[in-house]
Amino acid sequence: MKILYDHQIFSMQKYGGISRYFANLHTGISGLEGYESKLGLLFSDNAYIKTDRLPAQFLNGFVKKASRRYKYNKWYSKYLLGQSNFDVFHPTFYHPYFLRSLKKPFILTVHDMINELFPQYYATDPFTGYKAQLIQKADHIIAISESTRKDIQKFFDVEDRKISVIHLSNYVPVSSDRPGETPAADDYLLFVGDRFGYKNFDLFLEAAAPLMLKYSIKLICAGGGPFKPGELKLIGELNVSGRVSQTSVTDTALSQLYKNAIAFIYPSLYEGFGLPVLEAFANNCPLIVSNTSSLPEVGGDAAEYFNPADKESLTFAIDKVIGNKILQQELRVKGRERLKLFSFETCLKKTLQVYNRFG
């Protein structure tokens, strides 16, 4: 069986959960007898496919404009689609450019329904309409959590038989620490990723600031870009300017931040899956997370939960974990056990089962 993945997410991301998901599927399938996986990609600076021999990778350093890279890669994907030398097509994002020329079945992975649930943040995003179009046209849909499946069916008339729930897996190498071993906790809490809108950073900051002062600890924000003026203003008003920092990190550096944090806090109002939950589990980091959307589905009994709309609930949860070393250790041990439910082998096997229905 031959599977074709298009260029989209690899033209758009250097790092990111979606491109890592597709890169791992591509690599996993390429190593299996009887299967062949191809990327519709001429060149890319995506970190997860560096070892792939792309047809024009030598040009990557010369084509500086991202828009031009996207254009060339899109042309190549359309060329391969026209050749039809594959059994199943799996687009890596939501642009419907391929619909007119595609003559084979296509599978769509829906990662979340954030645009639909929080339209105030995505009023001008064309991908909202693109995704709706592909959901209606796809031969089959992969939802990355049961929560996401329910959200898809909340907005679209999609039958159960057309959707398969396939959880993401942990793609970050598991810590070399022995299961249950306590890493050397540092003096900081950890926040990872984007901070805008539904990520709920401002409320989290207001909830955590009194505890930073009470326990004389810091907050490290990994990724998400430099603080914006409004964030800096709020940090100053909360009197924690010297305790809050932002840093851009590689996967290796992020792993170390998880390992040495007192706890990782994930205050998001909504997640289609929440891959950082598994990253925390993989690195022996106690998890404090919202009790909403897919997060309890992924976190199970290995997290301390709170209501993300209630600042006092969040403050209480963080305080409870900071002040209880025994609880911290229990969360580490449970996290390592929980992680076993999200293996890449399971993700790959279930994805192949979907492909085999149409190839």
What's the pLDDT at 184? Answer: 56
Q: State the pLDDT at residue 172.
A: 56
* Domain residue spans of the chain: 2-169+343-356, 188-339
The pLDDT tens digits of the residues spanning 217-246 come to 999 999 999 999 999 999 999 999 999 999
> What value does the mean pLDDT take over residues 168-197?
71
CATH fold of 2-169+343-356 reads Rossmann fold (3.40.50)
Percent of the chain predicted with pLDDT > 70: 96
C-beta separation of 152 from 163 below 8 A? yes
CATH number, domain 188-339, options 3.30.70.1450, 1.10.730.10, 3.40.50.2000, 2.60.120.10: 3.40.50.2000
Q: Look up residue 70 and give its two tokens.
A: 């996207």
Over 50: is that where the pLDDT of 180 sits? no
Are both 2-169+343-356 and 188-339 of the same fold? yes
302 compared with 173, residue with greater pLDDT: 302
